[in-house]
Amino acid sequence: MSRIGVFGGMGPAATVDFMDKLVRLTPAKRDQEHLPVVVASFPHVHDRSRAILGVGPDPLPQLLAGIDFLNEAMVGVIAIPCNSSHHWYAQMSARAKAPILHIADACVAAIAAGTEKVAIFATRGALASGFYQRALQARGLGWLVPPEEGAQGNVDDCIRYVKAGELAEGSASLDEALKWARSQRAGAVIMGCTEIPIAAREATVQGLQLVDSSLELARATVNHALERGWNQWDS
C-alpha cells in the first residue's frame, strides 16, 4: 500500500483547505476506505514570490528538504498546494523519488471547452515565472494577466488578507479583481494561488468559471491514488 505525500505549510490555511477537498473527493463511506496521506507542513519556507522576483532569499534548499522528508516517508506521489513553489518544479522533481503532480497542468485540464480567454490570478512571482502561461499556450488557450497598477493589486491584497485570516477583506479584494476579468471578457479565471479559493467562497462569480487550483490538484491527487488502488486495505 502506497501513500500520498502533501508538501504543505505554504500557507497553513491553504494546506488545510487542500486536505478538506482531498477527503471530500474520496469516495469513502468509512475510515478504512480513505486514502493514506502523509502531510508535511513547513511554513518556514522562504517567500516563493519574493524569491522569484529577486527580492527575497532562495527557498530552494528548504523545498528540497521538504522533498527529502517525503522521500523518507516513502510516499508514492507528491502534491504541493502552493502555486509559486512550482517555479522550482524541475529541481524538486529531480530530487523526488515519486512523481510530483503539477498544479498548472491540473488547472488547465479543468478549463471548459470553448473558452477563448483565461485570466490568471496569482502572485507576482508566479506570473513572472510564467508556468501558467506556458501551460495554457501548450493547450492553445489565450490568456491575460491583471495590470500591475490595477487589478493585480487587488489580487495581492486578497492573498495577503487570507494569509492574515481576514477573509471578508480578502473576498472584497477578489471581487474587485473579478470585475476587471469580466470587463476583459474572460471566460475563466485560474485562481493560481491556493489562498484565493478561500476568499472565493464569498465572492461574486457572475458567469465566470473560477478554476480552483487547490481543488483541481486535489482531484488529480485522488484520481492518481484511486487508479492504483491505494484505498483498498487488506481486511
In this structure, is residue 234 part of a structural domain?
no
Taking the C-alpha atoms of 97, 70, 57 and 130 in order, what is their torsion angle to the nearest 10 degrees?
Answer: 60
Query: Is residue 192 domain-shared with residue 123, that is, in the same domain?
Result: yes
User: What total number of domains does the chain contain?
Assistant: 2
Its sign, for the CA torsion 51, 55, 58, 62, is negative
List, for residues 10-65, the tens digit of each pLDDT value.
Answer: 999 999 999 999 999 999 999 999 999 999 999 999 999 999 999 999 999 999 99
Q: Which domain CATH number covers 57?
A: 3.40.50.1860
Concatenating the DSSP letter of every residue in 141-185 gives -EEE---TTTHHHHHHHHHHHHHTT-HHHHHHHHHHHHHHHHHTT
Residues 181 and 220 in one domain: no
| Whether residue 127 is found in the same domain as residue 209 | yes
180-227 pLDDT, tens digit per residue, is: 999 999 999 999 999 999 999 988 778 899 999 999 999 999 999 999
The answer to whether residue 50 sits within a structural domain is: yes
Give yes or no: residues 62 and 39 share one domain: yes
Which phi and psi (to 5°) does residue 132 adopt? -70, -40
* Residues 152, 160: Cα–Cα separation, whole Å: 12
Residue 174's pLDDT band (cuts 50, 70, 90): very high
Rounded Cα distance between 124 and 143, Å, is 15
Average pLDDT for residues 127-138, to the nearest whole number?
Answer: 97
Domain co-membership, 78 together with 161:
no
In a domain, 127, yes or no: yes
CA atoms within 13 A on the CB side of 218: 22
Q: Which phi and psi angles does 197 have, rounded to 5°?
A: -60, -25
Q: Which of the 8 DSSP states describes residue 83?
A: S
Kindly state the helix (H) or strand (E) to which residue 77 belongs, with its residue range. Answer: strand 77-79
User: Is the per-residue pLDDT at 81 higher than 90?
Assistant: yes
80: in domain: yes
Domain range enclosing 62: 4-102+216-227
Rounded-to-integer distance, Cα 216 and Cα 66, Å: 22
Quick check: is 235 in a domain? no
Grid cell digits, residue 87: 517555479
121 and 85 part of one domain? no
